[in-house]
Amino acid sequence: MSTFTTRTLDVTTGSAETVADLTSDCTAFLRDVADGRDGLLNLFVPHATAGIAILETGAGSDDDLLAALHDLLPADNRWRHRHGTPGHGRDHVLPALIPPHATLPIIDGRMALGTWQSVCLVDTNRDNPDRTVRLSFLG
């Protein structure tokens, strides 16, 4: 019999562009709810200016991602969406490149991530430092 359990995380990203590692939060959630079962973990960010990425962190890849996003989506006045900080329109394009969700396989109650993979919240919006991430386990 499958069960569905959900929880929200409140994440403060601050006033700088951020890649926030959520891997330990996901691990703690699964420890509480998965009980060693196989299933799926879904993460969802109910924000128009943030996304979920699976990538290596701590070796510069998180900074490389932010630099690549800055190159692809410059914080200037080219954007039609113009409220907030100058260039804020780019933040509303971000979820088209880094979606606001990810689904991961769970094996024996643990995320089946690769050796260097981490689960991250990507937030380039300096106008909103408070984020919610919904974790849902189906297993």
Residue 1 binned pLDDT confidence (cut-offs 50, 70, 90)? confident
**Cβ neighbours of residue 87 under 8 Å, at least 6 residues apart?**
74, 75, 76, 77, 79
| Dihedral, CA of residue 78, residue 16, residue 41 and residue 47, to nearest 10 | -50
- Mention every residue, 6+ apart, whose C-beta is less than 8 A from residue 66: 17, 19, 124
Q: What is the pTM of this model?
A: 0.94
**Closest to 110 in 3D by CA, of 43, 7, 21, 38:** 38
pLDDT tens for residues 18-50?
A: 999 999 999 999 999 999 999 999 999 999 999
Tens-digit pLDDT profile for residues 87-127: 899 999 999 999 999 999 999 999 999 999 999 999 999 89
Q: Residue 90's pLDDT is what?
A: 94
Q: What is the pLDDT of residue 28?
A: 98
pLDDT tens digits for range 90-99 = 999 999 999 9
Task: Give the domains, in start order, of the chain with CATH numbers.
Answer: 4-138 (2.60.120.460)
pLDDT of residue 86: 85
